[in-house]
């Protein structure tokens, strides 16, 4: 593939774009021309004998890569592609859109920009606007959040690439030492946080599957958090319980005792055959029992589902959405299956499921409307369904601040445990932050061996 343009661009980014969104154009030569007139930019594209143009007001003083964005849009146009997200791939669309507002664009102008330059549909633009409205109410740059990663699961789901290992695998033998190391890390982070007067607003224990911790270890970890971390400004405390096969009433009571107020119980799908194929055990009776316990103990409850799981057709998805109606939940997170390199599925060349977008979206909209929920955070992933997005819905007042802050990369994050990422955020240019990351090893043996060393790095990282 040759890319010839009369303006500078990063060819790799265009090649990656074509690889993901236009596989039929891989290897085709691209000619792009930018023409400036008074206050306008016109982009002309020629690819595989097809031509397209996009014209827009010149905003290059604010949007430095405007011609590249328009070039990508014009390539899609040349192939008559009507993707609902247009050329918005592998980005955080809400973060980008919020930046347009920070630059002083009016809502009307932002809508026009997204539709004309990125070819994003008005339906998706509406979703973005609704999410941003809620986010703006809750974002708080002055505070911090804390993430604790528990990198063990009862079994490894074939679609998953998260930092987690089967508890019964050879790495499972590190579990006891992992817990001891985590307790030490909580103490060290407590000292650092007191010294720096870090103000935590949300705490999230995720993974992996945190409910894999024994009841005794759950209590020890939560007790250590209460002992060493100043929780006086914490507005939400989440324990991503996740899998029904790891949760017990006893563990839920411990969570309650230590002020955890949000949990998740994730079906992913209610088709048990799919779950079995994906190496995920599931017992509907126990799931319902855990659900009743969660409601009785009055946690805010989230459920995760995934669209496009292998072997599932539109009726299976509609059935999962129908089943969800039976549960009184405050949050629902709808993921589109992403083909992640680190997952088992990625290497199995599985047959992708066709998901009929309009039918599924219509059913999701009806479900959340019935539950009185609004979309409150969203992100897209590379290699997920072409139209796909991950959207968190919530009833008013039960939105997770942690999820919003993570997606918007707005707050500093203190990461503890396996695979946890600490983030330090500094202002870079007027409308851009510079984000530095410090990653804890996800391999429990490495985490155990290096925790103290890494903590010393963390002290410098946050200084
Ligand atoms: C970090 S996982 C932890 C949740 C918990 N261990 C569980 O499985 O219930 C968070 C969520 O990411 C979603 N997820 C994981 N892998 C995915 C993939 N490849 N594509 C789309 N969603 C995925 C699932 O819905 C999962 O519940
Ligand atoms: S989806 Fe959850 S339970 Fe399954 S492997 Fe990933 S983290 Fe573990």
> For residue range 155-167, what is the model confidence (pLDDT) as tens digits?
999 999 998 999 9
> For residue range 314-336, what is the model confidence (pLDDT) as tens digits?
999 999 999 999 999 999 999 99
Compute, in angstroms, the gap from residue 162 CA to the centroid of ligand 2.
Answer: 7
Give me the DSSP letters along 80-125.
T---TTTT--SS-HHHHHHHHHHTT--HHHHHHHHHHHS---HHHH
**Distance (Å, whole) CA 222 – CA 200:** 15
Is the beta carbon of 243 within 6 A of some atom in ligand 2?
yes
> What are the sequence ranges of the domains in the chain?
1-81, 89-138, 141-458
Compute, in angstroms, the gap from residue 419 CA to the centroid of ligand 2.
Answer: 14
pLDDT of residue 428: 81
Would you identify the CATH topology of the domain 1-81? Double Stranded RNA Binding Domain (3.30.160)
Mean per-residue pLDDT for 397-414? Answer: 97
Contact 308, 270 (CB under 8 A): no
> For residue range 40-69, what is the model confidence (pLDDT) as tens digits?
999 999 999 999 999 999 999 999 899 999
Ligand 2 atom closest to Cα of residue 160: 6
Domain 141-458 is found in CATH 3.20.20.70? yes
Mean per-residue pLDDT for 94-122? Answer: 96
> For residue range 123-163, what is the model confidence (pLDDT) as tens digits?
999 999 999 999 999 999 999 999 999 999 999 999 999 98
Contact 378, 390 (CB under 8 A): yes
Question: What's the pLDDT band for 96 if we cut at 50, 70, 90?
Answer: very high
Give the burial class of 251: count Cβ atoms within 10 A of its Cβ; 0-12 exposed, 13-18 middle, 19 or more buried: buried
In the predicted model, is pLDDT for residue 414 greater than 90?
yes
Is the beta carbon of 162 within 6 A of some atom in ligand 1?
yes
**Distance (Å, whole) CA 411 – CA 217:** 29
Compute, in angstroms, the gap from residue 172 CA to the centroid of ligand 2.
Answer: 15
**Mutate which of 210, 266, 280 for ligand 2 pocket (most atoms within 8 A of beta carbon):** 280
Instruction: State the chain's mean pLDDT as an integer.
Output: 94
Compute, in angstroms, the gap from residue 208 CA to the centroid of ligand 2.
Answer: 6
Tokens 């391999």 belong to: 443
> For residue range 344-396, what is the model confidence (pLDDT) as tens digits?
888 887 777 777 888 999 999 999 999 999 999 999 887 766 667 899 999 99
Determine the 3-state secondary structure of 213 from DSSP: coil
Mean per-residue pLDDT for 456-460? Answer: 96
Could you tell me the pTM of the whole model? 0.94
Question: What's the pLDDT band for 38 if we cut at 50, 70, 90?
Answer: confident
**Distance (Å, whole) CA 108 – CA 341:** 39
80 token code pair: 């008559």
């Amino acid at each position: 593939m040759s890319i010839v343009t009369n303006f500078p661009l990063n060819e790799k980014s265009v090649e990656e774009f074509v690889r993901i969104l236009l596989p039929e154009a891989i290897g085709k030569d691209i000619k792009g021309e930018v023409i400036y007139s008074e206050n306008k930019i016109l982009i002309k594209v020629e690819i595989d004998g097809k031509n397209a143009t996009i014209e827009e007001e010149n905003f290059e003083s604010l949007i430095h890569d405007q011609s590249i964005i328009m070039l990508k849009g014009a390539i899609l146009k040349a192939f008559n592609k009507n993707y609902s997200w247009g050329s918005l791939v592998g980005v955080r669309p809400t973060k980008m859109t919020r930046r347009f507002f920070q630059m002083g664009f009016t809502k009307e102008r932002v809508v026009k920009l997204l539709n004309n330059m990125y070819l994003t549909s008005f339906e998706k633009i509406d979703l973005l606007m609704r999410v941003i409205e809620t986010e703006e109410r809750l974002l708080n740059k002055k505070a911090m959040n804390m993430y604790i990663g528990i990198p063990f699961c009862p079994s490894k789901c074939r679609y998953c690439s998260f930092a987690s290992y089967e508890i019964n695998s050879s790495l499972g033998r590190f579990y006891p030492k992992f817990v001891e190391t985590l307790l030490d890390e909580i103490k060290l982070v407590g000292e650092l946080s007191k010294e720096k007067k870090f103000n935590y607003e949300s705490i999230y224990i995720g993974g992996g599957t945190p409910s894999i911790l024994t009841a005794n270890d759950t209590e020890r970890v939560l007790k250590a958090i209460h002992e060493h971390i100043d929780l006086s400004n914490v507005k939400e405390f989440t324990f991503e319980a996740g899998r029904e096969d790891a949760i017990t009433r006893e563990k839920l009571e411990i969570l309650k005792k230590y002020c955890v107020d949000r949990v998740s119980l994730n079906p992913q799908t209610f088709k048990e055959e799919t779950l079995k194929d994906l190496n995920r055990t599931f017992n509907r009776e126990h799931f319902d029992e855990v659900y009743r316990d969660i409601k009785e103990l009055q946690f805010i409850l989230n459920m995760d589902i995934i669209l496009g799981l292998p072997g599932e057709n539109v009726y299976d998805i509609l059935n999962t959405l129908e089943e969800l109606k039976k549960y009184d939940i405050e949050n629902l997170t709808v993921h589109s299956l992403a083909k992640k390199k680190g997952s088992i599925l990625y290497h199995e060349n599985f047959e992708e499921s066709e998901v009929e977008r309009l039918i599924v979206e219509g059913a999701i909209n009806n479900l959340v409307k019935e539950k009185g929920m609004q979309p409150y955070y969203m992100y897209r992933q590379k290699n997920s369904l072409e139209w796909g997005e991950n959207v968190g819905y919530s009833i008013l007042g039960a939105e997770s601040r942690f999820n919003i802050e993570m997606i918007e990369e707005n707050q500093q994050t203190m990461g503890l445990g396996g695979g946890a990422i600490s983030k330090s955020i500094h202002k870079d240019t007027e409308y851009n932050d510079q984000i530095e990351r410090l990653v804890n090893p996800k391999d429990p043996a490495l985490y155990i061996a290096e925790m103290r060393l890494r903590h010393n790095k963390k002290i410098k990282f946050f200084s």
